[in-house]
Structure 1
């Protein structure tokens, strides 16, 4: 995946899946991009972009490609067409498009469809675990010149994202946060107490939510350069994806060597951090200091 600041529209996970399935069928049929493009009367670049989920997938194009690739079974055809229609539907987050950057649309799509999320956060409580008051304080600090309505819309989006943790089959969320996250006074003492209480409740009540604290005393670790998220999916067509954020956007990695580097860093950090069995004790001790 490329830097999401590039144009072309933010792909949904289903669009990525469909693109990869079309690529597999084309390769199985031993057809080149040029041969596939000829069937659609488009350029080979268009077919390439369809497979990479960089453009929307027109249902007539998908149907023509499937037949070109030798897919003739009515049920298989209908299944692909149904997936194409669904892939073209905007995600629930589309209604926040007035305040949602394109790069973050990709992030929310990955977050919504994943079944495992691992992350390192050196600055803030992860968005999926933030209280409303904490989220407001963080967003207001990051958007000092934004209108109040825009900040509140961003808060609403952040809170709605958290529904993923409470669905019937939620993803496993395993986050390592730096001790700084819990000591930086964001929003004041009352907001911080509320936030730490929320973390303690989440960890104690939900087995799919795991939180580890990286204490100052542990010294340097492999991910001191910045925050990142690792997403894993139940769909075999989708490789693991890592999102590395910056002030103005994000870069998404899905190449095996890149992702492996992030996973190794996470594993090393988990070994250095406070063990999961002691997270509640660590949070309780920090809570008393606020």
Structure 2
């Protein structure tokens, strides 16, 4: 049955494809093992353009040897909610496929690590900082688009703040990023104070500052987001102006995981980082 290739269906397809490849099967072999007449059926399921019912899943579990209980439940949830309209679909024209895919990934993730030398991650931005960043972007051309994207960012924060179980958020922040007066001193001071509040009061948020004096460091090859999940492989997201790359190959994910660990060890401790943030806020006062 042909269906809309929603982000959840694509995630389901990616998980089934990963399992097929782990078994060393071609799509033709998988089709034969599953009892499909055409390899095209397997290909469509992996691309998210053909649906899988909750009743069919046990057959996939048996044929693909999927025994992990947490992975089974995640796949069931992807099937149950595969056709749901996500809240961000109200922002048509602002949310493109890469952003929609990312928002779906974050919704499913248990942990998120961020290294970005250019801007703070959207989940920790104040409204004023988000607006300043959005207005400076060359992507959005009209005031309406800017307003809608800022509202999208704020709604995403609200949705994630109320999520159960909560998302574990960890970011290493280069000091030079914190010294960039995005929106002016008042906006940046409010933003720094917000980071201090999150670091002190939110047990699910960990912030570390990487001082300018650190010199060369592990993150100099570029920004990335590392998503971990209750089951299944990690996903690395690399964003650009008009596209985002999602990487789940184990070797590549391990490289970024190591980079993240090195950045954590090179940065100041969370307690020391709050002191640095407080000093920056004082200078901006």
TM-score category, normalised to shorter length: 0.7 to 0.9
* 2:190 matches 1:194: yes
Q: Structure with the greater relative contact order (CA < 8 A, sep ≥ 6): 1 or 2? A: 1
How far apart, in 1, do the equivalents of 2:131 and 2:107 lie?
22
Q: 1:127 aligns with which of 119, 122, 131?
A: 122
* 2:269 matches 1:275: yes
Structure 1 residue aligned with 2:67: none
Asked if 1 retains the 8 angstrom alpha-carbon contact of 2:45 and 2:52, the reply is: no
* 2:32 matches 1:35: yes
* 2:226 matches 1:233: no
Q: 1:44 aligns with which of 21, 25, 39?
A: 39
Asked if 2 retains the 8 angstrom alpha-carbon contact of 1:242 and 1:253, the reply is: yes
How far apart, in 1, do the equivalents of 2:31 and 2:48 lie?
18
- TM-score normalised by L of structure 2: 0.82
How far apart, in 2, do the equivalents of 1:113 and 1:246 lie?
22
Q: Structure 2 unaligned runs (5+)?
A: 64-72
How far apart, in 1, do the equivalents of 2:24 and 2:268 lie?
49
Q: Deviations over 1:42-93 (max 9, x none)?
A: x424412413xx2233357x7678669979xxxxxxx988853421223222
Q: How many residues align?
A: 269
How far apart, in 2, do the equivalents of 1:48 and 1:194 lie?
50
How far apart, in 1, do the equivalents of 2:246 and 2:99 lie?
11
Where 2:218 maps in the other structure, the secondary structure is coil
Structure 1 residue aligned with 2:85: 90
Q: 2:49 aligns with which of 45, 51, 56?
A: 56
Query: How far has the Cα of 1:225 moved from its partner?
Result: 2.6
How far apart, in 2, do the equivalents of 1:194 and 1:243 lie?
28
How far apart, in 2, do the equivalents of 1:259 and 1:271 lie?
19
* 2:210 matches 1:214: yes
How far apart, in 2, do the equivalents of 1:251 and 1:284 lie?
35
**Aligned 1:96-115 pairs, distance under 5 A:** 96-115=91-110
Where 2:216 maps in the other structure, the secondary structure is coil
Distance 1:203 1:189, change over 3 A: same
* 2:249 matches 1:255: yes
Q: Structure 1 unaligned runs (5+)?
A: 1-7, 72-78
CA RMSD of aligned residues (A): 3.2
Q: Deviations over 1:232-285 (max 9, x none)?
A: 111x2x210010112321111111110111111111111111111212111000
Query: How far has the Cα of 1:36 moved from its partner?
Result: 6.4
Asked if 2 retains the 8 angstrom alpha-carbon contact of 1:36 and 1:65, the reply is: no
* Worse-matched range after superposition: 116-125 or 246-255: 246-255
Where 1:223 maps in the other structure, the secondary structure is helix
**Aligned 1:11-22 pairs, distance under 5 A:** 11-13=6-8, 15-17=10-12, 20=15
Q: 1:157 aligns with which of 138, 152, 157?
A: 152
Distance 1:59 1:264, change over 3 A: closer
